[in-house]
Amino acid sequence: MKTETTVPVDFSDPVNAQILRVSEDCVQGFHRDPFAEIARQSGVAVPVVIERVRAMLRAGTIRRVRQTLLTTSLAEGALVAWRVPPAKLDSAFDWVVANDPFTGHVVIRWTDPTAPGANYKLWTTVKVPPGYSVQRHCQFLQQHTGAEEFRLMPARKAFALGVGHLRRQGLQPGARADVAPEPLDVGVTTLTELQWRVLAALKRPFSPDELVPNLWEARAREAGISLETFFELAEELDRRGLVGRFATVLEHVKPTASGQPLTRFNALFHWAVPPGREIQAGKELARHLILTHVYWRDTGPEFGNVNLMAVAHGIDQAELLAHKAAIDQHLTEAGVPILYTNVFWSSRSEIRPSEL
């Protein structure tokens, strides 16, 4: 029998890759037995799925195993672009990562220095608990980081929310789904204290030792309810559109045990389309399989009046630009005028779930 130290832990191992192509972002919603669902979709037996995921989590190949939530419906939030003096940029990044529990993604981005918004180099996602203000929280962060200005860009619609870095490798530019997805509404919902307890138990990342066949039994005890009640409440929250996916979040920026990163480039694509065409354009963008996230966000004139943003990751920068060109062509063929477009590239990032 294999000891865990002999279990392959690199994402390139064939069995691991078979599992990860499913477990990254294909287990949508809440499942009473998510490992059985991964096994069903991947064709790998449940005990092997658990063994491999546990070993990859311990080795750092997988950064987190967790049930994601659609937090756009749970709290006020925004993508925030910060104009920070160059001498303070790295220290501002470090301070936010170390001190702000309500900030999720922290990314330093660069683009053509003549492009609109090029001097906004620090980008973060912020979500605050009910009763708090994103604007006031960002003013607090501004005082501590030395930022000169910030721009809030809350989502108005979400068209794509996924990860799936491994299954996106090798995609041809222009590869897209036959049917455009429907946009997700953005708006904060009201929950009971018990529902919040269940959500808290759902979203907390799993440690390697917690990855067992009866995955949710301990979380039901944590919430102080029976397992069946936990299931019923989780399924109700799923029906209300508050539950995302059961996910193994790969370490896709830093080198893994093999010394190789899963991706090298993180691109934030910007488009400005005519007002009133955002939903049509967003749905067409979301058909493109390379895109992990697509949002309608209004940015204002300092960013060229961009109203659609999308994220793509890859090993090769030229390949990502080829995908971008294919997407632009598709929008044009779909009858959507592109008034302006640009790409912001990541040079440093820290990705983590924010705490509500």
Residues 211-250: tens digit of each pLDDT? 999 999 999 999 999 999 999 999 999 999 889 889 998 8
Summarize the confidence of residues 192-197 as an average pLDDT.
Answer: 94
Sign of CA dihedral 243, 247, 249, 250: negative
CATH number at 222 reads 1.10.10.2890
The yes-or-no verdict on residue 256 having pLDDT over 60 is no
Distances in Å between the Cα of 290 and the Cα atoms of 70, 105, 119, 170, 320 are 21, 20, 27, 10, 9
Contact by Cβ (8 Å): 143, 110: no
pLDDT band at 253 (very low <50, low <70, confident <90, very high): low
53 is a domain residue: yes
Q: How far apart are CA 269 and CA 320, in angstroms?
A: 10
Query: With bands split at pLDDT 50, 70 and 90, how would you rate the model's confidence at 1?
Result: very low
Counting the structural domains of the chain, the total is 1
Helix (H) or strand (E) holding 341: strand 340-350
Higher-pLDDT residue of 207 and 165 is 207
Residue 310 lies in a domain: no
The 8-class DSSP code of residue 4 comes to G
Task: Identify whether 280 is part of a domain.
Answer: no
- How far apart are alpha carbons 40 and 98 in whole angstroms? 40
Instruction: Tell me phi and psi for residue 347, to 5 degrees.
Output: -115, -15
Q: Is residue 332 part of a domain?
A: no
Domain of 44 in residue numbering reads as 4-70+190-250
Mean pLDDT of the chain: 91
Phi, psi of 188 (to 5 degrees): -75, 130
pLDDT at 265: 87
Q: Which whole-number Å values give the CA distances from 44 to 35, 184, 251, 263, in the listed order?
A: 10, 32, 22, 25
Q: Is residue 152 part of a domain?
A: no
Structure confidence at residue 164 (pLDDT): 55
Mean pLDDT for the stretch of residues 86-106: 96
pLDDT band at 190 (very low <50, low <70, confident <90, very high): confident
pLDDT beyond 90 at 252 = no
CA angle at residue 236 from 235 to 241, to 5 degrees?
Answer: 95
Q: Is residue 48 part of a domain?
A: yes
CA distances from 219 to 70, 199, 203, 215, 222 (A): 19, 10, 10, 8, 5
> Residue 340: beta bridge partners?
272
Tell whether 294 is covered by a domain. Answer: no
Question: Is residue 259 in a domain?
Answer: no
